[in-house]
Amino acid sequence: MTRILVINPNCSQDCSAGIDAAIAPFRFEGGPEIDVATLAEGPKAIYSWRDWHSVVEPLCHLVEHTRAAAFVVACASDPGIEAVRASTTTPVLGIFRCAVTAAVARADRFGVIGLVNASKSRHLAALRAIGLEDRLAGEIAMNVSLETLLDPHATRAKLIQVAKALAAKGAETIILGCTGMSHHRLAIERELGLPVIDPCQAAIGQALAIVQAGA
């Protein structure tokens, strides 16, 4: 059976469960297995550049010793993407880059809801790497913990408020800049009336396209 492995580079099992729920609709009879792995060596969440760098070697080691038809690194800061790609000949997708390509396929400009202010520089670096920096209408950080985001009610009103502020800046699509926001996507989209992109779903869609094309 063909397998797509989604790797949560933090050690939060609750976050991994949220990722698994977000991508559940992409599993279908006769299709590839889609598994979610949690990086035991990872931090509780990736807030800082230090957190980002700390998961690069463990990610490389996991990919080097695991068989899959495609790997998805499920953090919206795309930690270690270049290093992980250099460790394998298997396709490796970063969910933020996938979300951006999905967003610009829907509209000209997009906004990002970030986890913390420190996320902005990592997102900007990724946008520069793929040449889409000028399509960013703006990024606004929630500045809350991952655990708070995972609560089904604690931050939903603020997420909707931030999404509306990004739309006022000219965003025509909204990217959720943390996997902990996945379960809020539909509520934000219904309230906003604009497409809201979940990065894990965007990445799985692209991974399926790669795997099915090569089948």
Domains of the chain (ranges plus CATH)?
A: 3-94+201-214 (3.40.50.1860), 96-198 (3.40.50.12500)
What is residue 215's predicted lDDT score, i.e. its pLDDT? Answer: 63
> Which bin fits 138, alpha (ψ -120 to 50), beta or left (φ > 0)?
left
The residues, any chain, with a CB within 8 Å of residue 215's CB and separated by 6 or more, are: 2
pTM (predicted TM-score): 0.94
Evaluate if residue 214 carries a pLDDT over 90: no
Which of 112, 111, 116 has its CA nearest to residue 144?
Answer: 116
Evaluate if residue 162 carries a pLDDT over 80: yes
Containing 38, the helix (H) or strand (E) segment is strand 33-38
What is residue 59's predicted lDDT score, i.e. its pLDDT? Answer: 97
What is residue 152's predicted lDDT score, i.e. its pLDDT? Answer: 82
Evaluate if residue 51 carries a pLDDT over 90: yes
| Lowest mean pLDDT, pick from 53-62, 129-138, 152-161, 168-177 | 152-161
The residues, any chain, with a CB within 8 Å of residue 23's CB and separated by 6 or more, are: 6, 34, 36, 200, 201, 204
What is residue 153's predicted lDDT score, i.e. its pLDDT? Answer: 86
Evaluate if residue 27 carries a pLDDT over 70: yes
pLDDT digits (tens, 9 = 90+) for 66-117: 999 999 999 999 999 999 999 999 999 999 999 999 999 999 999 999 999 9
Q: Tokens 């009879």 belong to which residue?
A: 29
Cα 122 to Cα 177: distance, rounded to the nearest angstrom:
11
The residues, any chain, with a CB within 8 Å of residue 187's CB and separated by 6 or more, are: 156, 160
Q: pLDDT band for position 1 (50/70/90)? A: low
**pLDDT, the chain, mean:** 95
Q: Tokens 């990736």 belong to which residue?
A: 46
